[in-house]
Structure 1
Amino acid sequence: MQKATFGGGCFWCTEAIFQTINGVKKVTSGYMGGELKHPTYMEISHGDTGHAEVVEIEFDEEVISFRDLVLIFFKTHNPTTLNKQGNDIGSQYRSVIFYHHNIQKQDVEQLVAHLEQENVFENPIVTEILPATDFYEAEDYHQDYFNQNQSKPYCTFVIQPKLNKFANDFKEKIKP
């Protein structure tokens, strides 16, 4: 099993997408990148702890590659906005990839260069590429959020449309 750690705005959205991918065994919402030890959601929600909302993904590299996960990450959020995803604003919602070893770092840098060269996005990619630090699991009520709360307005109006678009764009990557 390999690990990937991505921050692309609200972790509820990111978690919901990566849970559907064939080869992904576990997705855990949490926090990474700040100095505060064992932060809570309330502490990081002000955007001044340095942490980002992230998902830690455990995946089988024989089924899906890290590079494919990174491509999915880039295509399912806006990597060109600084500290903002939709209505979520603040450094805790920044676009960031925390790499777990240098091969992951190289894969991300090569993919970013390719996406930039191909002008895939209208604006430059501002996603941070940083070494993984301590991962702090978010509170229980944040885990598996979409599946536990599908009728809530945020799930209906924000997460479900992202899942629909993802399913349309990446149907070959979805779990059977």
Structure 2
Amino acid sequence: MLEELPKIGFGGGCHWCTEAVFQSIKGVGEVKQGYISTEKEKETFFEGVLVYFDPGSISLQKLIEIHLQTHQSTSNHSMRSKYLSAVYTFDPVQYAKVLDILASSQGKFEEQIITTAHMFGNFKASRPEIRNYYKTDPERPFCKLYIEPKLKILEDKFQSFVR
């Protein structure tokens, strides 16, 4: 059952892009697209996704590695107030693991990773008509321009994890 799978939250770019990336990964049971807040700032929401995954099929480390490679994890651009580069955790043990994974991932990047770990606060689901954005019409101009390049990175760097 879905609720028995561990979950993790990701934010970094548009939630349509993030949703499409994680829906393409083996071992991911479900991706919920919406807006996520941190435990400390429960009223400030950022675009993101909740990812339910089977750790026997894909590790938390690999999910984070994919996340770091498929969004601008080293860019503190002007849209960060909407697109926080983050991993949202659900307990202190998971939080500590994410901190370790982020620290150990820095060596794979020339620039400083700005992605941060946060304890999860709240989640608001996107309205139904924009969920599964890529799956419902991959021919949209937005999908071609923004989502497909991220899926290409996924296929090039993480082929064995792509559905």
Normalised by the length of structure 1, the TM-score is 0.83
Q: In the alignment, which residue of structure 2 is the partner of 1:5? A: 9
1:21 partner SS: coil
Is 2:36 aligned against 1:32? Answer: yes
Q: Which residue of 2 aligns with 1:151?
A: 139
Which of residues 151, 154, 159 is equivalent to 1:166? 154
Q: Answer yes or no: is the 8 Å Cα contact 1:6–1:55 preserved in 2.
A: yes
Matched-pair contact (CA < 8 Å) for 1:83–1:95: no
Instruction: Report the counterpart of residue 96 of structure 2 in structure 1.
Output: 106
Q: CA deviation at 1:171?
A: 0.6
Choose which of 31, 51, 62 in structure 1 pairs with 2:56: 62
Residue among 9, 23, 27 paired with 1:23: 27
Q: Percent identity?
A: 31
Preserved CA contact (<8 Å) 1:97 1:127: yes
Checking the alignment, whether the CA contact within 8 Å between 2:35 and 2:46 is kept in structure 1 is: yes
Give, in angstroms, the shift of residue 90 of structure 1.
4.0
Q: Which residue of 1 aligns with 2:105?
A: 115
Count residues with an aligned counterpart.
156
User: Is it true that 1:97 corresponds to 2:97 in the alignment?
Assistant: no
Residue identity opposite 2:58 in structure 1: I
Q: Which amino acid aligns with 1:19?
A: Q
Scaled by the length of structure 2, the TM-score of the pair is 0.89
Give me the whole-angstrom Cα distance separating, in 2, the residues matched to 1:61 and 1:111: 15
Residue 43 (structure 1) aligns with: none
Equivalents in 2 of 1:2, 1:165: separation in Å?
A: 25
**1:91 Cα deviation (Å)?**
1.0
In the alignment, is the contact (CA less than 8 A) between 1:7 and 1:94 conserved in 2?
yes
State the 1:94 CA deviation.
Answer: 1.6
Q: Per-residue deviation at 1:163?
A: 0.6
The RMSD of aligned alpha carbons is: 1.5
Unpaired runs of at least 5, structure 1: 37-49
CA distance in structure 2 between the aligned counterparts of 1:94 and 1:123, rounded to whole angstroms: 17
Structure 1's 75 and 90: CA in aligned 2 closer, same or farther, altered over 3 A? Answer: closer
Gaps of 5+ in 2: none
Distance across 2 between alignment mates of 1:82 and 1:133: 22
Residues 108-161 of structure 1 deviation map (CA, whole Å, 9 limit, x = unaligned): 211222122x2x222211112110111111111221100112111110111112
Spell out structure 1 runs of 4+ moving beyond 6 A: none
Per-residue deviation, 1:35: 3.8
Where does residue 142 of structure 1 map in the other structure?
A: 130
CA–CA distance in 2 between the matches of 1:35 and 1:54? 14
